[in-house]
Structure 1
């Protein structure tokens, strides 16, 4: 009998539930939730700082983001952080639909479009030992591997084949999706049909680095399927668990997703302005002292720093945190921004939060430093969300070139 447990990312209490001990251990190992023993053999399940879904046999556990970010928006944030060309229409399914069913349906539809004209073919470099000459003889390898032997020959040549990076990625995602329990038989049939079209394409090893591909006119019809496939392969796992139950999990850290998205979107938004944008900008809080190594200094890594003429001009830091009931954010964030501004000699830092509201400026006493709290509403449509980042970049660059004593984020 199927069973579903739905949690909010910030949920602090849940009623204990009855679970098989092996299921409880498997669920805990996914990292989506914490699972601790409760009274009477029951278990308490609480969010563990991640969002996503885990399917263990007939049990489905979902953790929803705090900002009511639906499936399409979540995958947009994930995809855009890896590739600014990603758009939410790469995912097909309603916001409240079962995550695995929506992912499977999206992959099937995009895969069908990609393979409508048959698998993509391309040239790949092959090195192997043959008894006849094909391509170029690798003399160095022949001498070192087969001294004094004429056959077989170590050769290299270009082969026109379907075993290219695009098909390997697509087949890897299809194979993984086919292992998800409780997908409908019609959907599994469509995925199996797509897999058969890719017969002879290498199957990627679980956890291996994804092969590199470049968007072009030739593979343009593959791109939506490839972008979705890469998200599936990076964020999802599907395998047999304890007790021979099939386990599928799609688990992401929303703090990391938000920080990566803001960094990517800011870099894009700041491109029209003079200067260079750097991620995880390395700096030191303390002065260098004679006789001391840099490893002894207080090192800092700032999320995003925009430098003009080689000097830091704009500082941004993304925080996926919840505001208090009064709308305030943690004091530690402002201490951190004060340290960044002091060390880099910049009078203003921009704290980018996931949430609703208007920008707010806090002037730090006796320091000549201001910290701007700039919220980004993740429930917005992607176009509006990206427009918010463009506004942030424009505002930050404008204010940085105005009166340094200005106290308004919008002056």
Structure 2
């Protein structure tokens, strides 16, 4: 299996033309190249293009991160483009893993020193490892059992006799009883989903430690039937006191079975492919970090949708959805996140640091509709080597101010001492 590690917006080529493989460009097989083109076309019809064509021999990746695995076994690992100094794939991979854990609202666990080492395999193997570790802990604490009704035919009476079905028995089977009774076992929605996810992991795990643990757990869950309807069973997943120890494993189960998770929008996990839109990962990561930093009296609301840009024929049109509203003792701040690299050295009237005029129009509309034209707005961009400090504030008017600030991905904090 040929493995390639690149980062967002990298260029991919194929054929006899040799290029120096790195995080910004790489060579793949003809089969993998054609497969990526077809997958991109399929996804583009659903509104999520994967690559852009550059001539006849080059593809440029979009801002998705994760792993693509072609039918010939070629694995393309795509990492976030956050570090400028050198091609440090390990550092980028660890940062992505940290962001995904925080996005999935998983609390860090204290384990043995060897367990504290960051897994340095591909993203899919890391997801499998996290799922197996959470499932192993769950099994050791004990699976939840439940009562459920069973209708069957027996030679003796057990439970309730189904009179209607019994009367319809043919004469030759009158000695059999049609009964309904309850059994107490592990056949419940949560366990069925875990069994289905584990079956998928057993087929796809490549790392030796993951395969060993997967088959050990499969032996313990052998009596549980797999889920026949993922959506229905996820809807029936209980989150009460008795199933509190199931919470850590659900996000990983959701990723593996491809429930409609806000982070995964690219369809099925085909083979070992798993992709995340980086702007959504960044937004979710910022939300999780901000919620941890809130002071008493502060409230953070995500994806507010109570205002519209205009009214037409007494109907509201063009809904405005800022990423976050921060409420602090009566004061409201509008926050929006953008996964884009700014350059503080390009602060001239032509380059404008790399800022987008459309983003400023968007923030101006938020300020008018959510703040009444008076208050404070903020744009958060990832911190990079060329954007380490907040820019000087922008003013739409004397009372409406916009701050453009970097967000430190490593510490999970806004780089502005007096902001939060």
TM-score of the pair, normalised by structure 2: 0.69
Q: Quick one: distance in 2 between partners of 1:219 and 1:307?
A: 30
Residues 1:201 and 1:300: Cα distance change in structure 2 (over 3 Å): same
1:373 aligns with: 404
1:170 maps to what in 2?
194
User: Partners of 2:295 and 2:149 in 1: how far apart?
Assistant: 40
Q: Deviations over 1:147-202 (max 9, x none)?
A: 9979856x685x43222344334323322222327x14564243122112101223
Match of 1:228 in 2: 252
* Aligned residue number for residue 345 of structure 2: 326
1:55 equivalent in alignment to 2:65: no
- Indicate if the aligned counterparts of 2:4 and 2:76 stay in contact, CA closer than 8 A: yes
Asked if 1:262 is matched to 2:286, the reply is yes
Shift in Å at residue 59 of structure 1? 1.0
Indicate how the Cα distance of structure 1 residues 198 and 363 shifts in structure 2: closer, same or farther if over 3 A, else same: same
Mapped pair 1:340 → 2:372: no
1:123 aligns to what? 146
The 8 Å contact of residues 317 and 350 in structure 1, kept in 2 or not, is answered as: yes
Q: How does 1:285-304 map to 2 (within 5 A)?
A: 285-286=309-310, 288=311, 292-295=313-316, 297-304=317-324
Deviation at 1:273, TM superposition (A): 1.4
**Which runs of structure 2 are paired with 1:67-78 in the superposition (5 Å)?**
67-68=82-83, 70-78=92-100
Structure 1: any 5+ residue segments left out of the alignment? 240-246, 398-411
Greater relative contact order structure (CA < 8 Å, 6+ sep): 1
Post-superposition offset of 1:338:
1.3
Measured after TM superposition, the shift of residue 63 of structure 1 is 0.8
Q: Distance in 2 between matches of 1:95 and 1:199?
A: 28
Does 2:381 align with 1:353? yes
Q: Is the 8 A contact 1:277 1:304 kept in 2?
A: yes
Q: Which digits, 9 at most, give the CA deviation of each residue in 1:129-158, with x for residues without a partner?
A: 7775648x9xxxx99x979979856x685x
Residue pairs, 1:138-157, within 5 angstroms: 152=178, 157=182
Using a 3 Å threshold, how does the CA distance of structure 1 residues 218 and 50 change in structure 2: closer, same or farther?
closer
Is the CA contact 1:320–1:353 (under 8 Å) kept in the aligned structure 2? yes
Match of 1:401 in 2: none
Match of 2:227 in 1: 204
Shift of 1:227: 4.0
Q: Could you tell me how far 1:254 is from its partner in structure 2?
A: 1.1
- What is the TM-score with the length of structure 1 in the denominator? 0.71
**Paired residue secondary structure (2:222):** coil
Cα distance in structure 2, aligned partners of 1:112 and 1:87: 16
3-state SS, counterpart of residue 203 of structure 2: coil
**Are 1:65 and 2:83 matched, yes or no?**
no
Instruction: Report if aligned partners of 1:92, 1:102 keep a CA contact under 8 Å in 2.
Output: no
Q: Contact 1:347–1:368 (CA<8 Å) still a contact in 2? A: yes
Query: How far apart are the structure 1 equivalents of 2:167 and 2:295?
Result: 59
How large is the Cα RMSD of the aligned pairs?
Answer: 4.1
Paired residues in the alignment total 360
